[in-house]
Amino acid sequence: MFTGIVEELGSVLSLDGPRLRIAASTVLDDVAMGASTAVNGVCLTVVAWGDRWWEADVSDETFARTALGSLREGDPVNLERPVRLADRLGGHLVQGHVDAVGEVVAPAPDLRVRMPGNLRRFVVEKGSIAVDGVSLTVARVHDDGFSAALIPHTAAVTTLGTRSVGDPVNLEVDVMAKYAEQLLVGFTDRSAS
């Protein structure tokens, strides 16, 4: 579980088949084999590390459902280690399980993202959404997606400040909204009988 508060900007050293190598420092402070680290909002497992780098294997399923396959050597990436139960929850609960890939329609500071229609029901004004692993507050909901106002700090310390029109971004809607819908569907189905 993550918070959507990016700890550092890393960079892609290489993407060789399923093996992704990331340059980093902060997220290596307490690294261990099998540890989870979010890369642009995608929960990946540490399988190797060295001086200022770490590696993860990315499955075909993850490549198919995220924007990780579009990464190139040198690209910056948002990195976050999982939250500890004793930590402050500065963003919102983020699982690192990407729901879909969206498309930037307008760049920061008034970031606007187009998203698949089947996810729009989970997006509400002043609700939370993770974009490339960054916890954001929805400023407006649009027919094709949403807008979020980025403060200069967020634009400077994450990849969102450099995203351009047409860029793909990983989206994770609020998991609480998905659970609420699932519970209500079950209740509605039983009450109709």
- 10-residue block means of pLDDT along the chain (193 residues)? 95 96 97 97 98 98 96 98 86 93 98 97 96 97 98 97 98 93 79 56
End-to-end CA distance of the chain: 37
Q: Which domain holds residue 148?
A: 100-177
Give domain status of residue 39, yes or no. yes
Number of domains in the chain: 2
Alpha-carbon 37 to chain mean position: 11
H or E segment to which residue 88 belongs: none
| Amino acid occupying residue 63 | F
Give domain status of residue 116, yes or no. yes
Give domain status of residue 141, yes or no. yes
| pLDDT value for 109 | 97
Give domain status of residue 185, yes or no. no
Distance between CA atoms of residues 148 and 138, nearest Å: 5
Q: What is the CATH number of the domain that holds 145?
A: 2.40.30.20
